[in-house]
Amino acid sequence: MSVEDFTADLKARIEALLDEHDPATTDAREFLGAQYDAGLAWVHLPVGFGGLDLPRSAQRLVNATLAAAGAPVGGTAKNFIGMGMAAPTIAAVGTDEQKRKFLRPLFTGEQIYCQLFSEPGAGSDLAGAATRAVRDGDDWIVNGQKVWTSMAHYATMAILVARTDPAVPKHAGLSYFLCDMTQPGVDVRPLRQITGEAEFNEVFLTDVRVPDANRLGPEGGGWRVATTTLNNERVAIGSIVDASREGGIIGKVTQAWRDEPGLRNAAMHDELMRLWVDAEVLRLTGERVRQQASAGQPGPEGAGLKVAFSTLAQAISGFELELHAESGLHYDDWTMRRTEVVDLVGRGPGYRYLRARGNSIEGGTSEILRNTISERILGLPGEHRVDKDVAWKDLDR
């Protein structure tokens, strides 16, 4: 089928969806279910799994047309982990039965996902995870503690990495599961951040049962599956940058510079220009990475985008605090409250400065990601690892 042919067919399918399910009068979940069934959720996936076997780039036409019609966004605002991390992993690694079972409710927002990866003793070194999964017939019994878990207080499902074989080296002994967060034994506790909010959580798992049918990839193959998730996560975080010029945080700073002459300082002008150029470079780089990702699964390039985003967000928020002088230090809400999304644009300079501190930690620390860049992109010699061939059970912890 030529590009012209599949584009015409795609437009016809979109028009049919909108004709039969008017976004203005159709329940959001019903509309998203119809979108999935029409193959317009992820057009690059096979027919029957929310797709049409089309190039990934065709999704842009779908998203733009539906957005213009006021249609709801797949996954809902609370399911960014499901859409950005779980869905690509299930699509890439899952069996047909797993895709059939999990992708549709994820897209409609019936199932909200969180990510049970990091632990108190295994954050940057995820392969050192100690949460254990022990086989019990057709199930696995999971015990352990996870931390920094965004959206766990809303989640009904989780992507989970657990150790299934402690007698082999750490990377080889992990397996990857889809875990039901609503069952007994799952204890979610809020963690208070520097902003005063409870955006994420610690999660305790006590004798939690996970069916072997919910295992993604082979037993002991969890590290490779997790890498797929992490690559998608880093692209998702790095892509927070607004696609429009002067979008995001830099737009707040330049607007203040133009609108409030009293804030201007000649000594800060050159720094502002440098930050503006860096923001523009990051925006264009992000667009290129997204285009590359549309042609296949994201690779390690997302690590570079994520490091650049973290560094720039912290630099701009620090500059903004200086620009506003004493008023920039004002922070009016230390209430410990649950939050659904990180709002770096809608809040004040004080919030942006505090929240940006976490950008270089979440989604992989900048130090670890620089290792990824050096080894997997630049091809430099790997860092010396004394634990590479040692059984996990014999490691000091």
- The token pair at 361 is 């930690």
Q: Are 220 and 226 spatial neighbours (Cβ–Cβ below 8 Å)? A: no
The dihedral region occupied by 141, where left means phi > 0, alpha psi between -120 and 50, and beta the remainder, is beta
Q: In CATH, what class is 113-220?
A: mainly beta
Going from N- to C-terminal start, the domains of the chain cover 3-74, 113-220, 226-377
Asked whether the beta carbons of 53 and 44 are under 8 A apart, the reply is yes
The pLDDT of residue 327 is 81
pLDDT of residue 237: 62
The per-residue pLDDT for 42 is 95
- Active-site residue 340, yes or no? no
Handedness of CA 285, 290, 294, 297 (dihedral sign): positive
Amino acid 186: pLDDT? 98
Best CA proximity match to 119, nearest among 134, 130, 103, 105: 130
Q: How far is CA 214 from CA 95, 100, 206, 223, in A?
A: 10, 12, 18, 16
pLDDT 10s per residue in the chain (397 long)? 556 667 899 999 999 999 999 999 999 999 999 999 999 999 999 999 999 999 888 998 999 999 999 999 998 778 989 998 999 999 999 999 999 999 999 999 999 999 999 999 888 789 999 999 999 999 999 999 999 998 999 999 999 999 999 999 999 999 999 999 999 999 999 998 888 888 889 999 999 999 999 999 999 999 999 998 987 776 666 555 556 788 888 999 999 999 998 888 888 999 999 999 999 999 888 887 776 665 555 667 778 888 999 999 999 999 999 999 888 777 767 666 777 667 777 788 988 899 999 989 887 789 988 988 898 888 899 888 888 889 999 998 7
Q: Are 327 and 197 in contact (CB under 8 A)?
A: no
| pTM, rounded to two decimals | 0.87
C-alpha angle 346-350-356 in degrees, rounded to nearest 5: 80
In the numeric block, which tokens belong to residue 256? 């203040």
Residue 100 token pair = 């059939």
pLDDT at 241: 56
User: Which residue among 233, 280, 326, 367 is the active-site one?
Assistant: 233
**Amino acid 292: pLDDT:** 67
Give yes or no on whether 113-220 and 226-377 have one common fold: no
Architecture of domain 226-377: Up-down Bundle (1.20)
User: What is the C-alpha to C-alpha distance for residues 376 and 397, in angstroms, rounded to an integer?
Assistant: 27
